[in-house]
Amino acid sequence: MPELVSGETVAIQRGRLLADAAAAVILARADAHGGKVSDDDILYVARQWVFRKNEVRQNVIPEGQTWVFSDTLGLLRDRCGRYIMSGASQAYPHVMLLLNRWMKDCWGEHSQRAFCCTSISFNKGYAAKLHRDGNNQGPSICKAIGHFSGGRLGYFAEDDKTMELEKLKADQEAVFLDVKSAFQVFDGNRAHFVEPFTGERFSFVFFTVAKWWKTKCEVLDGLKDRAFEVPTPESMAHAQVLVPSPRGYGARQLPRMASLAIMFWQAPLRPQVVRRAWEAPRETKNHIKESNVLASLLGVHRPPRGTETDKNAATAKKAKRSKTASSDAQA
């Protein structure tokens, strides 16, 4: 038997080993036949997985409970601030591979771009209370599986964190995302909760740990080996576009408007500064160099400064000024 992961018991390890073995079989079948990983495949593995009681996630634990079944897979930040791969992710790689392949199969039906993430929040059998994530870069996607009714994701899409959670809940209406039918996009840093439900419910939230770029290369390589779509600046920029900036609520609410810079993937242009003629800056070496490059691109010949042509032009200009001055004196 392999060594126990921190926090595991023998019974927990046994169930997780069964889940990992089942995941390996499903992956082999999908590779052999070229099929996709289905919700039923994930449900079968999820039922094999054994959770340990999680008392740490106080921000999600429902009122009246002291723990929940919730495991964070992939990248996490420990209490010392180090970015590490969770022990379960290292010990049960086939489960990681299967979950990421399932997400990519489902997400690929709606988008040509892969969704980047470093971590998965794997949950069973509880309705998270209203909260904002504390260690999430923001863009997240969620899907729930199982035989249940209710259990939608309540989401305050315009939450800009200026309103207390209790006041937000009392004064504003959440939108409800049907996470049972398909993966739904949301910003984990905005207020959200799970609607009460009945039945068997597993949920998976794919997200990126805040400041993931501080992770050591060997840890990132381990995530890639488990099929995590580790973010790049470009892929994270695309993910951020999926969750536009919140407008806020109440008197502070901003008008809804589309940003052309975001729509066309361009940085906002600086306003053009119009100078008076007498305030025009003198030509600098960089300016001269740039104008010569532009001239060459346009096929226009511009002689370099200090050549014979420049000297002749300067002599002619000086002679013209002298002639004008003598004419004025004679008058």
DSSP for 95-127, please give it.
Answer: HHHHHHHHHHHHHTTT-SSPPP-SEEEEEES--
Q: What is the Cα–Cα distance from 256 to 288, expressed in whole angstroms?
A: 44
Burial (CB count within 10 angstroms: exposed 0-12, middle 13-18, buried 19+), residue 43:
middle
Question: pTM of this prediction?
Answer: 0.76
Residues constituting the chain = 331
The CB-based long-range contact list for 287-292 (8 Å cut-off, 24+ gap) reads none
Cα atoms in the 13 Å half-sphere on the side-chain side of 41: 26
Nearest alpha-carbon partner for 212 in 116, 80, 143, 122: 116
Which residues of the chain carry a pLDDT beneath 70? 251-331
User: Residue 146: left if φ>0, alpha if ψ -120 to 50, beta else—which one?
Assistant: left
Q: What is the Cα–Cα distance from 197 to 191, expressed in whole angstroms?
A: 19
Q: What is the pLDDT of residues 70-117, one digit of tens each?
A: 999 999 999 899 999 999 999 999 999 999 999 999 998 888 889 999
Question: Domains in the chain and their CATH numbers?
Answer: 10-245 (2.60.120)
Q: What is the Cα–Cα distance from 31 to 200, expressed in whole angstroms?
A: 29
Q: What is the pLDDT of residue 260?
A: 45
Amino acid found at 271: P
Q: What is the Cα–Cα distance from 241 to 254, expressed in whole angstroms?
A: 18
Q: What is the pLDDT of residue 272?
A: 38
Instruction: Please report where in the chains the tokens 């691109």 appear, as a residue.
Output: 297
Q: What is the Cα–Cα distance from 192 to 128, expressed in whole angstroms?
A: 9
Instruction: Please report where in the chains the tokens 């032009």 appear, as a residue.
Output: 313
What tokens appear for 278 in the block?
């007498």
What tokens appear for 204 in the block?
């998976």
Cross-strand partners of 136: 209
The CB-based long-range contact list for 253-257 (8 Å cut-off, 24+ gap) reads 253/158
In this structure, are residues 187 and 105 in contact, taking their beta carbons and an 8 Å threshold?
no
Q: What is the pLDDT of residue 218?
A: 97
DSSP for 203-225, please give it.
Answer: EEEEEEETTGGGS-HHHHHHHHH
Nearest alpha-carbon partner for 246 in 179, 159, 315: 159
Q: What is the pLDDT of residues 210-252, one digit of tens each?
A: 999 999 999 999 999 999 999 999 999 999 999 999 999 875 6
